[in-house]
């Protein structure tokens, strides 16, 4: 069938890495975030941005992500001490990471007190992938959406943390890496962006993957990666990642840590900055009914979305 969507379920993979040339990479990231924002209300999803990589000027980073500020999902809903969940410097990045770690620790503490068995994480899935050399055949869209999915037992609300490049100092890197590995148990999922050359015969997948890990150390903790490929980076290769070097339970050597197999080849779905801003502005008036409104119910607000990218 032509033009069939290729998906990567965050509850299945835990954390997702995106890598490629900057212009194409940001277009892809905007498309991913727009889909998340369109399909999830602000009371079921929050979006946190950490864009504190000093290799790029602050003004450039701020302008590139300014459209996010219009989304209802970036307004603090957990008592965070900020106006928007956008971190463009090391201090803000440290604060946002610390808030998320506290939430993760609280959730793990509740799990321990209740005696609940920890849910399987993407690392378990990728360990199985490393052992067999194949990816589990069930696609993310075929998995149940009622909280019974073993890879995503957390039932919400969810948080998507966008990490653009190097998140900051060693403490922030360590915090974000932990969120990528353990965060899914508390509904926290990392989407990591790394600027690299497109995968090609002169820069094969393994080399592009290692280049992405060098740009953003958090990239190595992602359970799946999408690498922009081809001469003009309009092709995308989606791969599962093994984060183990031994067969589980046997200790025998297995596939090395890193991308597994040849992955799925697809066409990039990207949107422009202008489209993303129009989209975010269209969602900006939307509000959710909640206890914070004092029990008042408001008429639903609807707004037309932009037709073209």
What digits encode the pLDDT tens for the residues 211-239? 999 999 999 999 999 999 988 888 899 99
Report helix, strand or coil for 229: strand
Q: Are 77 and 43 in contact (CB under 8 A)?
A: yes
- 113 pLDDT above the threshold of 90: no
Select from 3.60.40, 3.20.20, 3.40.50, 3.90.550 the CATH code of 10-293.
3.40.50
Q: What angle do CA 28, 30, 34 make, to 5 degrees?
A: 120
Q: What angle do CA 94, 100, 101 make, to 5 degrees?
A: 85
**Average model confidence (pLDDT) for the chain?**
81
Q: Can you give the C-alpha Rg of the chain in angstroms?
A: 19
DSSP assignment of 48-72 equals EEE---TTS-HHHHHHHTGGGGGSG
Q: Are 198 and 207 in contact (CB under 8 A)?
A: no
Q: Which of 204 and 35 is assigned the larger pLDDT?
A: 35
Q: Which of 127 and 46 is assigned the larger pLDDT?
A: 46
- 20 pLDDT above the threshold of 90: yes
Closest CA to 11 of 136, 109, 154: 154
Q: Are 139 and 4 in contact (CB under 8 A)?
A: no
How far apart are alpha carbons 209 and 98 in whole angstroms? 28
Instruction: Please tell me the number of Cα atoms within 13 Å of 38 on its side-chain side.
Output: 14
Average pLDDT over residues 117-123: 48
Report the share of the chain in percent with pLDDT over 70. Answer: 76
- 271 pLDDT above the threshold of 60: yes
> In residues, how long is the chain?
309
Prediction pTM value: 0.80
How far apart are alpha carbons 194 and 53 in whole angstroms? 11
3-state helix, strand and coil shares in percent for the chain, rounded to the nearest 5: 40, 20, 40
């Amino acid at each position: 069938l032509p033009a069939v969507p290729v998906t990567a379920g965050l509850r299945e993979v835990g954390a997702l890495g995106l890598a490629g040339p900057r212009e194409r990479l940001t277009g892809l990231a905007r498309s991913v975030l727009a889909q998340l924002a369109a399909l999830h209300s602000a009371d079921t999803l929050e979006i946190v941005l950490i864009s504190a990589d000093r290799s790029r000027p602050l003004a450039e980073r701020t302008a590139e992500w300014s459209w996010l500020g219009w989304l209802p999902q970036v307004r603090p809903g957990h008592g965070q001490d900020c106006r928007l969940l956008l971190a463009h410097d090391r201090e803000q990045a440290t604060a946002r990471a610390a808030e998320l770690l506290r939430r993760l620790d609280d959730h793990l503490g509740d799990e321990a007190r209740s005696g609940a068995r920890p849910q399987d994480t993407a690392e378990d899935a990728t360990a199985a992938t490393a052992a067999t050399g194949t990816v589990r055949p069930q696609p993310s869209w075929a998995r149940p959406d009622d909280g019974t999915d073993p890879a995503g037992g957390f039932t919400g609300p969810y948080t998507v943390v966008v990490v653009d490049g190097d998140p900051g100092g060693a403490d922030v890197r360590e915090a974000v890496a932990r969120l990528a590995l353990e965060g899914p148990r508390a509904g926290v999922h990392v989407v990591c962006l790394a600027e690299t050359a497109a995968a090609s015969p002169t820069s094969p997948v393994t080399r592009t993957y290692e280049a992405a890990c060098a740009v953003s150390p958090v990239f190595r903790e992602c359970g799946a990666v999408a690498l922009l490929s081809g001469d003009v980076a309009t092709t995308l290769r989606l791969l599962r990642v093994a984060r183990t070097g031994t067969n589980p339970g046997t200790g025998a050597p297995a596939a090395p840590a890193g991308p597994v197999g040849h992955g799925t080849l697809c066409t990039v779905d990207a949107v422009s900055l202008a489209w993303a801003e129009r989209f975010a502005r269209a969602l900006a008036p939307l509000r959710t009914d909640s206890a914070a409104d004092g029990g008042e119910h408001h008429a639903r607000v609807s707004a037309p979305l932009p037709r073209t990218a």
